[in-house]
A = this chain, B = another copy of it.
């Protein structure tokens, strides 16, 4: 276990830049005093905020650059003007050069992914990246991937997602063999997208050392926590994630309106306010802020662009955990085993089809 965790923070990322990222970094520091920060961004903007956060200042080194990636740029534009010199690039580069253990950025997702791929490169055997999210469930949490990095993908891609997600759950949840389900629109083998059915066949017949294949799961199984890992390509995964967020907001608003309707309900609310606080904590989207980019030779955490300081701190916490428990190395080990099993399986199935 490393005795300190070095975090490269893209201080300019997100909708509000340093005014949010630095207070967030400070909050994470109260929980993990062994963090050391590289704060990357425009010194003229960072220093005044930092002056008001002496604890953070003492554990940070500022790396100045006046180039910042805009939230609405296309990845290609961002690469053109931001490569070698933007705060986002330099944060990734710090991990590449071994000066930091993890990157945290609330910047433009497409640009962050493009720069991370370009600079860190993909793990051997993985062709396309994924973003994994931690999804709160009735049983605890599940890993859901991909929530938006790669649109579409064949059965080989889905197999890779299963192996990477399984490895992440294994180390995050401390389970020997997590269960993995494929997101589909029915649980019968005959339903759904061709590539999902094919991946299901390979996963069912394969023998994977580090996870158990459960079968197909549907949208409503995610929140039930039916499996530890839910695998899907990034279009459906992103829509599922955002639909769940939207539904939670919608119900919270219904609840507020209902509790405000009569004097009796308002009094009831007062009596039960501790219960409502617990509920609000459980539903707080800031607590599960932070997507992990998987498939890269380095740990990159994407914080939500609109995250506040508490949300930023959650994303930093996630990066901290990933380093502290050496997740990347363990994911690599698991991946090697599961990808080998997958490749053997694929070869055998291909051989079977040919004979």
B253 touches A251 (CB 8 A): no
B258 touches A243 (CB 8 A): no
A250 touches B224 (CB 8 A): yes
A239 touches B282 (CB 8 A): no
A contacts with B: majority SS? helix
Bound-complex Cα distance A247 to B243 (A) = 9
- Which one of A110, A137, A193, A264 has the highest number of Cβ atoms from chain B below 10 Å of its Cβ? A264
Q: A183-B239, A250-B138 are in contact. Are A188 and B72 (CB under 8 A)?
A: yes
Chain B residues near A268 (CB-CB < 8 A)? 267-273, 275
Chain B residues near A278 (CB-CB < 8 A)? 258, 261
Chain B residues near A248 (CB-CB < 8 A)? 247, 251
Shortest beta-carbon distance from A6 to chain B in Å: 32
Segment 124-141 of A: residues with Cβ below 8 Å from B: 137-138
- One of B218, B220, B279 near A249 (C-beta < 8 A): B220
A219 touches B190 (CB 8 A): no
Stretch of A78-86, A206-214, A230-238, A315-323 on the interface side: A230-238
Chain B residues near A254 (CB-CB < 8 A)? 279, 282-283
Shortest beta-carbon distance from A40 to chain B in Å: 25
User: Does A345 interact with chain B (Cβ within 8 Å)?
Assistant: no
A219 touches B246 (CB 8 A): yes
B236 touches A220 (CB 8 A): no
Shortest beta-carbon distance from A343 to chain B in Å: 27
User: Does A148 interact with chain B (Cβ within 8 Å)?
Assistant: yes
- Which one of A138, A218, A250, A264 has the highest number of Cβ atoms from chain B below 10 Å of its Cβ? A250
Chain B residues near A265 (CB-CB < 8 A)? 271-272, 274-275
- One of B220, B255, B282 near A243 (C-beta < 8 A): B220
Chain B residues near A218 (CB-CB < 8 A)? 238-239, 242
B283 touches A261 (CB 8 A): no
Chain B residues near A222 (CB-CB < 8 A)? 243, 246
Q: A234-B185, A236-B236 are in contact. Are A245 and B271 (CB under 8 A)?
A: no
Chain B residues near A245 (CB-CB < 8 A)? 219-220
A244 touches B242 (CB 8 A): no
Chain B residues near A270 (CB-CB < 8 A)? 268
A238 touches B272 (CB 8 A): no
